[in-house]
């Protein structure tokens, strides 16, 4: 059975079903991260002293560069499909996947550095909120990698049968990926610089 409006925009919403769905999902994500950011602000405002310089700014900055680059490769993966170039799309999507993996490797070194010094989430309020925020963000990176892995692997064959629907799916993946990158754009200055 075909689901209507998987490709065309619906006249009532002005959006394809998938796009409405991903924006509703992202709205719920905004609430989730918004609640955690609010917790951070409340904890920081209520604290007499707040630690500075506990995190490695250079590792955080490297991860910022990695995620900004991955947003560029992600949008290029989508634009390549719009230009009917599936080969380039695959290349850009694989690049995005690799950049996401680099981010996680970097994060692993950062986490292991803290944990070997005994600076786990139990150590201080700052580290508790740091591990919560960055851990949740990291899980979202893993989620994005699973979706990208699917479209690089078994999901890629959809391009041959339903190219327009496949292009839409990559656009929704890109919207999710940009949201995850955007969260980091806020996390980096809040946790590492301020």
Partner 1 sequence: MSLRRFHLLFIALSVVLAAFFAAWAGGQYRLAHEMRFAVTSLVCVASGAALAVYGARFQRKTKNL
Binding site for partner 1 (CB under 8 A): 23, 61, 64, 68, 71-72, 75, 78-79, 82, 171, 174-175, 178, 181-182, 185, 188-189, 193
Q: Quote the least distance from Cβ 136 to partner 1, whole Å.
A: 20
Can you read off the two tokens belonging to residue 79? 């634009």
Burial class (CB within 10 angstroms; exposed 0-12, middle 13-18, buried 19+) of 16: buried
Q: Cα–Cα distance between 152 and 141 in angstroms, integer?
A: 16
Q: Which is nearer to partner 1, 70 or 131 (CB)?
A: 70
CA distances (Å), origin 165, targets 33, 55, 108: 30, 43, 36
Q: Quote the least distance from Cβ 164 to partner 1, whole Å.
A: 14
Q: Cα–Cα distance between 152 and 158 in angstroms, integer?
A: 11
Q: Which is nearer to partner 1, 64 or 134 (CB)?
A: 64
Q: Quote the least distance from Cβ 58 to partner 1, whole Å.
A: 9
Can you read off the two tokens belonging to residue 159? 């391009």
Q: Which is nearer to partner 1, 64 or 129 (CB)?
A: 64
Q: Which is nearer to partner 1, 68 or 115 (CB)?
A: 68
Is residue 163 within 8 A of residue 14, CB to CB? The reply is no
Q: Which is nearer to partner 1, 59 or 75 (CB)?
A: 75
Q: Which is nearer to partner 1, 19 or 44 (CB)?
A: 19
Q: Quote the least distance from Cβ 115 to partner 1, whole Å.
A: 26
Q: Quote the least distance from Cβ 27 to partner 1, whole Å.
A: 12
Q: Quote the least distance from Cβ 141 to partner 1, whole Å.
A: 16
For residue 42, what is the enclosing H or E element?
A: helix 17-46
Q: Cα–Cα distance between 59 and 62 in angstroms, integer?
A: 5
Q: Cα–Cα distance between 82 and 186 in angstroms, integer?
A: 30
Region of 9 please: left (phi>0), alpha (psi -120 to 50) or beta: beta
């Amino acid at each position: 059975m075909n689901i209507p409006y998987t490709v065309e925009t619906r006249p009532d919403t002005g959006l394809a079903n998938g796009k409405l769905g991903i924006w509703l999902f992202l709205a719920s994500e905004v609430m989730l991260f918004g609640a955690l950011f609010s917790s951070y602000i409340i904890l920081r405002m209520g604290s007499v002293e707040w630690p500075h310089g506990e995190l490695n700014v250079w590792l955080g900055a490297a991860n910022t560069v990695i995620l900004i680059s991955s947003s560029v490769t992600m949008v290029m993966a989508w634009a390549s499909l719009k230009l009917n170039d599936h080969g380039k799309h695959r290349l850009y999507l694989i690049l995005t996947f690799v950049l996401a993996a680099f981010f996680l490797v970097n994060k692993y070194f950062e986490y292991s550095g803290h944990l070997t010094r005994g600076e786990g989430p139990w150590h201080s309020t700052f580290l508790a909120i740091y591990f919560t925020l960055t851990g949740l963000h990291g899980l979202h990176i893993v989620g994005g990698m699973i979706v990208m892995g699917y479209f690089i692997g078994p999901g890629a064959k959809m391009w041959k049968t339903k190219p327009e629907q496949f292009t839409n799916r990559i656009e929704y993946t890109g919207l999710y990926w940009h949201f995850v990158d955007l969260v980091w754009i806020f996390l980096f200055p809040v946790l590492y610089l301020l």
